[in-house]
């Protein structure tokens, strides 16, 4: 099937499908006229890629996991290498969530302090270089 048909069958635009191919996640043969030609298994593979991306995995992680994927959702066997890769990604997500929580807390503190100091005096002085930030 051509790339447009694969896109229609999976709901993924052709630009993303080309990206998956460039990342080594999806393989296409080339016809004599240069068009990409995907086999029927590409539909399942794209659905697996989408599920794994939704789980927060990088294309590099997915390239590593995909050969072991079973089914659309997909299921991944519990071999040590796969578990290590997924646990590493989970740790990265946890670290990012902690960093975002700290940033949120700091921003909330600044907002509270600014509200307590009296927003009616904003801006503090003409020409201070402070412009209101759009919401």
For residue 32, which phi and psi values (nearest 5 degrees)? -60, -30
Buried b (16+ CB within 10 A) or exposed e, 41-71: ebbebbbbbbbbbeeebebebbbebbeebee
pLDDT tens, residue by residue, 54-72: 988 889 888 888 888 888 8
The structure tokens listed for 7 are: 């896109």
d(CA 86, CA 93): 11
Kindly state the average pLDDT of the residues 24-53. Answer: 93
pLDDT tens, residue by residue, 68-114: 888 888 888 777 777 887 888 889 989 999 999 999 999 999 999 98
Q: Give the per-residue pLDDT at 61.
A: 83
Domain range annotation of the chain: 1-77, 78-117
d(CA 3, CA 120): 58
Please tell me the class of the 1-77 domain. Answer: mainly alpha
* pTM assigned to the model: 0.65
Q: Give the per-residue pLDDT at 124.
A: 59
């Amino acid at each position: 099937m051509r790339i447009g048909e694969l896109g229609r069958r999976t709901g993924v635009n052709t630009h993303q499908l080309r990206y998956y191919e460039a990342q080594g996640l999806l393989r296409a043969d080339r016809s004599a006229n240069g068009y990409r030609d995907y086999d029927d298994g590409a539909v399942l593979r794209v659905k697996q890629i989408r599920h794994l991306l939704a789980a927060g995995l990088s294309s590099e992680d997915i390239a590593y996991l995909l050969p072991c994927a079973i089914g659309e959702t997909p299921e991944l066997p519990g071999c040590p290498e796969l578990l290590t890769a997924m646990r590493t990604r989970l740790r990265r997500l946890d670290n990012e969530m902690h960093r975002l929580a700290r940033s949120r807390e700091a921003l909330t503190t600044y907002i509270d302090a600014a509200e307590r100091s009296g927003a009616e005096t904003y801006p503090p002085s003409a020409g201070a270089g402070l412009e209101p930030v759009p919401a």
